[in-house]
Structure 1
Amino acid sequence: MRHLYVNGTWVPSASAEGIDVVDPATEEVIDRVPAGSPDDVEVAVGAAREAFGAWSATPAAERGKLLARAAELVEERAERIARIIATDLGAPYGIALKVHTQMPAGVLASFARLAETYDFDGERVGNSRVLKEPAGVVGAITPWNYPLHQVVCKVAPALAAGCTVVLKPSEVAPLAAYALAEVFDEAGLPPGVFNMVGGLGPVVGEAIAAHPEIDMVSFTGSTRAGRRVAALAAETVKRVALELGGKSACVILPDADLGAAVKAAVAGAYINSGQTCSALTRMIVHRDRYDEAVGLAVEAAARYTVGDPFAEGTRLGPLVSAAQRERVVRYINRGQEEGARLVAGGTERPLDVGYYVSPTVFAGVAPGMTIEQEEIFGPVISMIPYVQEDEAVEIANGTPYGLSGAVWAGSEARAVEVARRLRTGQVAINGGRFNPMAPFGGYKHSGVGRELGTYGLEEYLEIKALHL
């Protein structure tokens, strides 16, 4: 049984309960972590509160240097951490290295630089001086689908801002968070500045969200769980940042490069086996080019080889758990029951062992179908035809979510014109790459607040005006 990380040391949980960590490719138990308790949260929050005064008073440049050292350590250990993530989550090793490990190392380094360069107290407004001060003790609750990146997106800006942190990583894929805790320990963070209490959401997560000595809670996960976190946090009027679900659309206009658009949309849907909140799971294509697009999507899906995360050529690993596989299978069955046409993939197991689902494509999907409205979190694409541009925009905006999206057109200006009409937090224009320095977050049921870059840092700052 692993331990918790509290007040600068590894300590056993007050609870004797544990949670098995399962390799989703082999279905074998590979580790065991504590199922923490409210008592563990109490101790961790006390340590974070005790450390806050000194850490918040530490010059920002010194905080930045410690974060920079942590980023260096993640880079040095990137191959080992990537192997942990490939085993724990099931991501193909190449993706585990580049996306799941090296990208968060870069994000960590970016907040190290921001800590050194951001103007925390220099802004003037008339006769007033505006100060930006750390929000206090932060509770960070993170999901399993990007088990290092999502932690870094919260912990790095909080520490850069001068906050102290109590982290609850997902119990489903927790081992990357343990690797990061080891990094912070070796980097020399003072005791109590970073604390980690693992366990179940309804136990540890709720204890964090409700704790009166936590000043802010930042949560990433499902919209349902986000509502619960926000309700608990409201009792103590703490700050809340929520990064929740998505049902993102790729709108392909008639004059777009159809081959490039479909290829990119399929990639945007299947990355991380579709277990991505910003996945482009809806492809909205003009009726005149719809059949051609469906054919291209089927061809593209066939190139996503399902297999062992460590096998050369694997492009689609398993889903994270048996429960997640069952969830995705239910949605695929529901899509067929409601009249959508299965043109690739389906519910049949592609391998005898492991929580795998074949890359799946549905044609003939109508707005309002369950698979068009709800977040599936698996490698499932819904292809929806349209006739008029206004109809395409209406379909794209026609879910409760607004996290991400994409627009393809014959010109950048044309794509931007349509993108501005989408009620979503970010839009890729003709294949524009993800930018980890740009703000990430959503509209509507996709959340509250932003992560990454300056916008992510400012989520963890309070604003004070001095009238001179």
Structure 2
Amino acid sequence: MNEHLSFYIDGKWVTPEGRQTLDVINPATEEPFARIALGTKSDADNAVAAAKRAFPSYSRATRQERLDLLNAVIEVYRKRHDDLAEAISQEMGAPMTLAKQAQAAAGLGHLTRVVEVLKTYEFEGAINNTLVVREPIGVVGLITPWNWPLNQIACKVGPALAAGCTMVLKPSEISPISALVFTEIMHEAGVPAGVYNLVNGDGPTVGEAISRHPDIDMVSFTGSTRAGILVAKAAADTVKRVHQELGGKSPNIILDDADLEAAITHGARGCFNNSGQSCNAPTRLLVPRNRQEEVAAIARRIAEATVVGDPRSADTTIGPVVSEVQFNRIQDLITAGIKEGATLVTGGLGRPEGLNRGFYVRPTVFADVTNDMRIAREEIFGPVLSILPYGSEEEAIAIANDTVYGLSSYVTSGDPERARRIARQIRAGMVHINGSRGDNAAPFGGYKQSGNGREWGRYGFEDYLEVKSMFGYLNAGKAA
């Protein structure tokens, strides 16, 4: 078993203040494959102090110096791409194809995107005789989840570096190994001492210390809504900026003029992808009531063609979910769906046939779901699709918006104008129209309890900047 018992603080690997460790479990085998140290408040304090010392110098780095640094990170990242994918697959169960082509690739995509943003970004502008400038916000705390580990690390670290911030990263203790490889990349790329720091640990200890720390100027958190509320409360006493990307329960509205086969196939696969462990997954499938039986048959076929198995097998479509806790939560919600009267189309409780070890979940489809059921309201974070029938376009919009979440949504219609009209009425931060993919140049984030702030591209970059007005700057030589 590999041991990773150091933290990265002030440009070097250091011994933690405490002695507590945690085994990292491979969810495909239920066996530990690595061990990490768990940090203490003192470790977080040390990392914040290093970032604070580094800020005055790094915040004055020129645009070209930041571009050179980011390009160096990208070069080393490309070299270590397969190492990152291997770590992701082992720690959270992603099939190797997904780990390489989506998980690790997403991180690289965010780094290259922020380089493009930084090249042309206007940091200064005039309003009358006032110069308005955007400056790095300061020391930032970055708290990232286990489901898309490198995607979330890169879309926070990249813009922080580009903006001139210094930082402390706390990755999920469930999937920390890819973050350690990323830290090796940062070190090899020559990130100045103290600019980037990593402390492993759990939320109640290290996450709390970062959120509450008076020398942290902003916290960027991705995770559950429950944990996001705790981060915001801890941060409130120091009035720091809090950026949150939280849970979702995304509606997928299929209109009566859509190509049903194509739309349901695309939507079901999107729901099951990454074992359902994506905050923006299209988990609520809204379909015309008189087409529900046909829809259920298509969704059943897709679910039963989804190969659940060993992440190292080329035949595998989805691997296990990340942990026993997650497995048990999904089983509880499947049970709730059955008890509340939804029709179990396929899947259900227990592991898929032939898989007696590992946190594998059967791809599951429910029909006749109403929006008051738990499976329609709670984020399941597993390969479970809920089909909700509707009678009219207006009812579909009302069902879509009847949720505490508002992260993503999906609309499919044979009439592009109709799809656009529906998209404008959905209360969510993102809408995918007619099967369109996400765009990492456009903002990612949600309404309501799905969070605040935005990530990706220029909008994500600006979350790491403060705005300063210098009145009279442009005519300072004249008397008042």
Same fold (TM over 0.5): yes
Choose which of 36, 53, 59 in structure 2 pairs with 1:50: 53
Q: In the alignment, is the contact (CA less than 8 A) between 1:424 and 1:442 conserved in 2?
A: yes
How far apart in 1 are the matches of 2:234 and 2:423?
Answer: 35
Which residue among 431, 434, 437 is the counterpart of 2:435? 431
- The one-letter amino acid paired with 1:300 is I
Do structure 1's residue 447 and structure 2's residue 451 form an aligned pair? yes
AA aligned opposite 2:121: Y
Query: Given the two structures, how large is their TM-score scaled by the length of structure 1?
Result: 0.99
Contact 2:309–2:317 under 8 Å retained in 1: yes
Provide the rounded CA distance (Å) in 1 between the counterparts of 2:50 and 2:95. Answer: 37
1:99 to 102, 116, 136: 102
| Counterparts of 1:61 and 1:114, CA distance in 2 | 13
Amino acid of the residue matched to residue 234 of structure 2?
Answer: L
Give the AA of the match of 1:321: S
Q: One-letter code of the match for 1:32?
A: R
Give the 3-state SS of the residue equivalent to 1:214 in structure 2.
coil
8 Å CA contact 2:376–2:386 kept in 1: the answer is yes
Do structure 1's residue 413 and structure 2's residue 417 form an aligned pair? yes
Aligned-partner SS, 1:171: coil
| Distance in 1 separating the partners of 2:96 and 2:47 | 34
Contact 1:419/1:427 (<8 A) preserved = yes
Query: Kindly, what percent of the aligned residue pairs are identical?
Result: 49
Letter in 2 for 1:301: A
Distance 1:92 1:436 in 2: 23
Aligned pair partner of 2:37 in 34, 38, 49: 34
Between 215-224 and 111-120, the greater mean CA deviation after superposition: 111-120
Q: Could you tell me how far apart the structure 1 residues matched to 2:116 and 2:282 are?
A: 31
Contact 1:75 1:102 in 2 (8 A): no
State the alpha-carbon separation in 2 of the partners of residues 446 and 48 from structure 1: 29
Note the 1:76-87 alignment, pairs <5 A.
Answer: 76-87=79-90
Runs of 5+ consecutive residues of structure 2 not aligned to the other structure = 473-480
Hey, what does 2:478 align to over in structure 1?
none
Secondary structure at the residue paired with 2:68? helix
- After the TM superposition, list the runs of 4 or more consecutive aligned residues in structure 1 that deviate by more than 3 angstroms: none
**Alignment partner of 1:385 is 2:389:** yes
Which residue identity is paired with 1:455?
Y
Displacement of 1:113 after TM fit? 2.7
Q: Counterpart in 2 of 1:247?
A: 249
Residue-pair matches, total: 467
Aligned-partner Cα distance in 1 for 2:127–2:95: 51
- Structure 2 distance, partners of 1:457, 1:348, is 43
Structure 1 runs not aligned, ≥5 long: none
Show the 5 A alignment for 1:286-435.
286-350=288-352, 351-435=355-439
Q: Is 1:12 aligned to residue 12 of structure 2? A: no
1:61–1:115 Cα contact (<8 Å) kept: no
Q: Deviations over 1:1-34 (max 9, x none)?
A: 4211100001111110001101100111100011
1:71 and 1:106 in contact (8 A); partners too: no
Counterpart contact for 2:83–2:181, Cα < 8 Å? no
Matches of 1:101 and 1:160 in 2, distance apart?
A: 20
> Residue 191 of structure 1 aligns with which residue?
193
Q: Once the 2 structures are TM-superposed, how far is the Cα of residue 280 of structure 1 from its aligned partner? A: 0.5
Partner of 1:225: 227
Structure 1 position 119, deviation (Å): 1.3
Alignment counterpart, residue 127 of structure 2, candidates 125, 128, 131: 125
Q: 1:174 corresponds to which residue?
A: 176
2:69 is matched by which residue type in structure 1? L
Stretch moving more, 207-216 or 126-135:
126-135
Deviation readout 1:239-297 (Å, 9 max, x if unpaired): 01000000001000000111111011112211110000001100000012111111100
Matches within 5 A, 1:134-145: 134-145=136-147
Tell me what 1:114 maps to.
117
